[in-house]
Homo-oligomer: A and B are copies of this chain.
Amino acid sequence: MGVPVLSRRERLRAETAAEIKAVALRLMSEGGPDAISLRAIAREMGMTAGAIYGYYDTRDTLVSALIKDVYTSLVDAVETARDVLPADDPAGRILAWGQTLREWALVNPEGFRLIYGDPVPGYQEPEGGAAAEAAHRACAGLTGLVAAAWPQAVIRQPGEYDWTDFDPILVGLVREEFPELPPAAVALALRVWGRMHGLVALEIYGHLRSQVKDPGRIYLDELRDLTRGLGIDEKSTTRA
Give chain A's interface residues, CB within 8 Å of chain B: 32-34, 113, 116-118, 121-122, 125, 129, 131-132, 135-136, 139, 155, 157-159, 161, 164-167, 170, 186-187, 190-191, 193-199, 201-202, 205-208, 210-214, 217-222, 224-225, 228-229
Contact = CB atoms under 8 A, between A and B. Distances in A.
A190 to B, nearest CB: 5
B198 A199 contact: yes
Nearest to A217: B159
> What is the copy number of this chain in the assembly?
2
13 contacts: A34-B121, A118-B118, A129-B210, A135-B211, A164-B213, A166-B211, A190-B218, A193-B198, A194-B195, A194-B202, A196-B198, A197-B201, A229-B229
B191 A199 contact: yes
Question: In this complex, which of A136, A170, A198 has the most chain B Cβ atoms within 10 angstroms of its Cβ?
Answer: A198
A13 to B, nearest CB: 32
B117 A213 contact: no
A158 to B, nearest CB: 5
Contacts of A155: 225, 228-229
